Amino acid sequence: MMVLGIDFGTKKVGLALLEATSTVISPLPVVKNDRHLFLHLVKIVSDYRVEIIVVGMPSYETTQKKVKRFVQNFELFLQKDLTIQYVNEDNTSLGIKSQINSPKQEKNLDSLSAVAILEQWQTETFNMTA
């Protein structure tokens, strides 16, 4: 089972994949948040046979509304019933920024944040089942 992590942003969207039977989380290329966003996401969901989508949810109310609107639109575009879950993403990017030491990593900041979101989800899911 594949899990897609999403770090939503108004300009860019970070993505990462987790195969639920392993602990390896792989960042995917950052995708522009433009009129082709949902086409890119649907292709990823289809190509990797994603069954669960984990979206980072900030605690700021105005940003929460944007994330929820994005997820609602994505669900309509998908036309497929997938499990969508949220995890707190507060300070994810700040934590990642402190670890970045190359321009390539800086370019992938959003996807590295998506990795952190999946790590958080994995920890919460494991702790709930333990």
CATH number of the domain bearing residue 24 = 3.30.420.140
The DSSP secondary-structure symbol of 34 reads: S
Q: Which residue has the higher pLDDT, 103 or 53?
A: 53
Mean pLDDT value across the chain:
88
Range of the domain at 96: 2-129
The 10s digit of each residue's pLDDT in 71-109 is 999 999 997 889 999 999 876 665 666 666 666 666 778
| Domains of the chain: total | 1
Tokens 């069954």 found at: 51
The DSSP secondary-structure symbol of 11 reads: S
Q: How far apart are CA 61 and CA 66, in angstroms?
A: 9
49 exposed, middle or buried (CB, 10 Å; 0-12, 13-18, 19+)? exposed
